[in-house]
């Protein structure tokens, strides 16, 4: 194998090769996230593995929810590129921030805004009672502002539920988890499939 062929194998992966779209600029390829972020705890289990709490090594006041997804095929990567594209293009106070993204050793690492208040469904479980009408109105208002912003940018979330609505430590509402979301070409485009969480 030629020198350039060896270099391609070292710095590339089948998932990237098979992907039909260029990688967003936010994704740093073959950069070990542990060089820039330190894992300091575990937050729980997500759909693709455990979610950990991380702190930036360059700014010790910046915390993130870190998740690592093993990606072996281009189609898998395509699905996550949609989520990354939405998070990087739809910046809003009530939408969770994507701080950094890495593709390292066939894993996609996402550093998402840490929301210390937790998810609304977890808060209700902790309280052992439903939210009050005033609390529901507060959460609903800012969730609607996030959704309206998404719709203005031709994005549909497709999985609105209490588990995907987070609160920061200061009580700011943040819409999260864009794993099944879609970015439409224009306002007239529609989706004809059902997706998301039953009963929600």
pLDDT digits (tens, 9 = 90+) for 117-161: 999 999 999 999 999 999 999 999 999 999 999 999 999 887 889
Confidence check: pLDDT of 176 > 80: yes
Confidence label for 75 from pLDDT (cuts 50, 70 and 90): low
Residue 197 lies in a domain: no
Q: Is 67 annotated as a binding residue?
A: yes
Q: What share of the chain is helix, strand, coil (3-state, %, to 5)?
A: 30, 30, 40
Residue 9 lies in a domain: no
Residues 145 and 89 in one domain: no
> What domain count does the chain have?
2
Residues 139 and 87 in one domain: no
Catalytic residues: 159
Alpha helices in 36-185 (DSSP H): 74-89, 120-127, 133-152
Confidence check: pLDDT of 193 > 90: no
Higher per-residue pLDDT: 178 or 138: 138
pLDDT of residue 3: 34
Residues 104 and 156 in one domain: no
Q: What average pLDDT score do residues 25-38 get? A: 93
The pTM for the full model equals 0.81
Residues 155 and 138 in one domain: yes
Q: What length is written for the chain?
A: 200
């Amino acid at each position: 194998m030629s020198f350039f062929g060896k270099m391609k194998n070292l710095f590339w992966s089948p998932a990237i090769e098979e992907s039909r779209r260029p990688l967003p600029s936010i994704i740093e390829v073959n950069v070990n996230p542990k060089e820039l972020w330190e894992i300091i705890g575990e937050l729980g289990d997500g759909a693709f593995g455990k979610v950990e709490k991380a702190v930036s090594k360059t700014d010790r006041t910046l915390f993130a929810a870190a998740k690592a997804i093993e990606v072996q095929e281009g189609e898998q990567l395509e699905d996550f590129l949609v989520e990354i594209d939405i998070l990087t293009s739809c910046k809003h106070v009530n939408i969770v921030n994507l701080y950094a993204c890495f593709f390292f050793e066939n894993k996609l690492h996402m550093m998402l805004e840490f929301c210390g208040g937790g998810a609304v469904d977890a808060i209700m479980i902790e309280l052992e009672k439903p939210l009050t009408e005033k609390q529901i109105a507060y959460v609903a208002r800012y969730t609607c502002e996030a959704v309206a912003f998404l719709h203005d940018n031709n994005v549909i979330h497709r999985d609105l539920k209490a588990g995907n609505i987070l609160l920061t430590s200061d009580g700011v509402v943040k819409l999260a988890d864009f794993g099944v979301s879609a970015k439409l070409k224009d306002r007239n485009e529609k989706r004809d499939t059902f997706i998301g969480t039953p009963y929600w």
